[in-house]
Structure 1
Amino acid sequence: MLRLTWVQPEDLIGHELRQAAQDGREPSRIAARWKAAGGLEAPRRSGASPTQASRYLRLLAEDLLDELADLPSRLADREPTDLTRIKANCPSWPAPPTAAHRGPTPSSLEAAWLGRAAGCLLGKPVEKLPLEAIRSLARPTGNWPPTTYFTAKGVPQELLTTHPWNRRSAHTSLAENIDGMPEDDDLNYPLLNLLLLQRHGKTFTTTDVAELWLEELPAGRTFTAERLAYRNLLTGLEPPRTAAHRNPFREWIGALIRADMHGWTNPGNPAAAAEQAHRDATLTHTANGVYAAMFIAATIAQAATGTEDIHTCLATGLTVIPPASRLARAIHQAVQLAEKHGDFDTVVDELHAAHAETHWVHAIPNTALITAALTHADGDFTESISRAVSGGWDTDSNGATAGSIAGLLAGHPSVLPDHWTAPLKNRLSTSVGDFNGTGFDTLAHLTHREAVRS
Structure 2
Amino acid sequence: MLPSLTFLKLQLEGILRNKFEQGHQTSGYLAKLEQLPASYDAYLEFAHSLAVIPMRDNWPYYEPNDLDEIWRESDPARPLGQIGILNLKDSSKRVEAGFLASVCGSMLGKTIEVNPSLSELRQALTSVGEWPLNDYISEEILHALDRRHWSWFETTRGRIRYVAPDDDINYTLMGMMVLEQFGEGFTKRDLRDLWLNHLPISTTWGPERAILLRSGISYLEHDKELFNHSEIEAWPDFMVQGTELCGAAIRADAYGYACPGQPALAAELAWRDASFTHRRTGIYATMFIAAAIAAAHVLRDPIEIIKTALQFIPKRSRFYEITQDCLEMVANADDWLEAYQSINQKYETYCHCQVYQEVGTLINTLRFADNVGDGICKQVMQGNDTDSFGATAGSLLGVYFGPDSLESRWLEPFQDRIHTGLSNFHEQKLSTLAERMGRLPKLLKTGQHRVLPSELYVNKNTGLGL
One fold, TM greater than 0.5? yes
How many residues matched?
424
Q: Does 1:262 align with 2:261?
A: no
Per-residue Cα deviation, 1:325-359 (whole angstroms, up to 9, x for no partner): 11111111212222333453443344334334445
1:92 to 73, 77, 87: 77
1:151-190 paired onto structure 2 within 5 Å: 151-153=138-140, 159=144, 163-167=146-150, 169-190=151-172
Q: Which residue of 2 aligns with 1:293?
A: 286
Q: Does 1:418 align with 2:408?
A: yes
What displacement does 1:304 show? 2.2
Q: Percent identity?
A: 28
Question: Hey, what's the Cα distance between the residues in 2 that align with 1:385 and 1:139?
Answer: 18
Q: Which residue of 2 aligns with 1:42?
A: none
Per-residue Cα deviation, 1:242-299 (whole angstroms, up to 9, x for no partner): 2221222111111111111111111111111111111111110111111111111111
Decide which moves more: 86-95 or 250-259: 86-95
Q: Which residue of 1 aligns with 2:233?
A: 240
Q: Contact 2:246/2:355 (CA < 8 Å) preserved in 1?
A: yes
Q: Name the aligned partner's letter for residue 78 of structure 1.
A: Y
Q: Does 1:438 align with 2:428?
A: yes
Question: Hey, what's the Cα distance between the residues in 2 that align with 1:71 and 1:77?
Answer: 16
1:27-42 paired onto structure 2 within 5 Å: 27-33=26-32
Q: Does 1:82 align with 2:66?
A: yes
Question: Hey, what's the Cα distance between the residues in 2 that align with 1:216 and 1:435?
Answer: 7
What displacement does 1:146 show? 1.6
Which sections of structure 2, spanning at least 5 residues, go unmatched?
Answer: 219-229, 447-466
Q: Contact 1:26/1:71 (CA < 8 Å) preserved in 2?
A: yes
1:127 to 113, 129, 140: 113
Which sections of structure 1, spanning at least 5 residues, go unmatched?
Answer: 40-54
Q: Name the aligned partner's letter for residue 417 of structure 2.
A: R
Q: Contact 1:314/1:371 (CA < 8 Å) preserved in 2?
A: yes
Question: Hey, what's the Cα distance between the residues in 2 that align with 1:370 and 1:418?
Answer: 23
Q: Which residue of 1 aligns with 2:227?
A: none
Q: Contact 1:275/1:294 (CA < 8 Å) preserved in 2?
A: yes
Q: Which residue of 1 aligns with 2:191?
A: 209
Question: Hey, what's the Cα distance between the residues in 1 that align with 2:271 and 2:60?
Answer: 18
1:39-118 paired onto structure 2 within 5 Å: 56=38, 65-73=47-55, 78-90=62-74, 91-97=76-82, 101-103=86-88, 104-118=90-104
Question: Hey, what's the Cα distance between the residues in 1 that align with 2:82 and 2:30?
Answer: 49
Flag the structure with larger Rg: 2
1:359-378 paired onto structure 2 within 5 Å: 360-377=352-369
RMSD of aligned C-alpha atoms?
2.8
Q: Which residue of 1 aligns with 2:23?
A: 24
Q: Name the aligned partner's letter for residue 86 of structure 2.
A: H
1:381 to 345, 368, 372: 372
Decide which moves more: 57-66 or 325-334: 57-66
- TM-score, normalisation: structure 1: 0.85
Q: Which residue of 2 aligns with 1:139?
A: 126
What displacement does 1:215 show? 1.5
Q: Secondary structure at the match of 2:28?
A: helix
Q: Secondary structure at the match of 1:28?
A: coil
1:337 to 329, 344, 352: 329
Q: Does 1:149 align with 2:129?
A: no
Q: Which residue of 2 aligns with 1:47?
A: none
Q: Contact 2:256/2:289 (CA < 8 Å) preserved in 1?
A: yes
- TM-score, normalisation: structure 2: 0.83
Q: Which residue of 2 aligns with 1:398?
A: 389
Q: Secondary structure at the match of 2:439?
A: helix
Decide which moves more: 95-104 or 285-294: 95-104
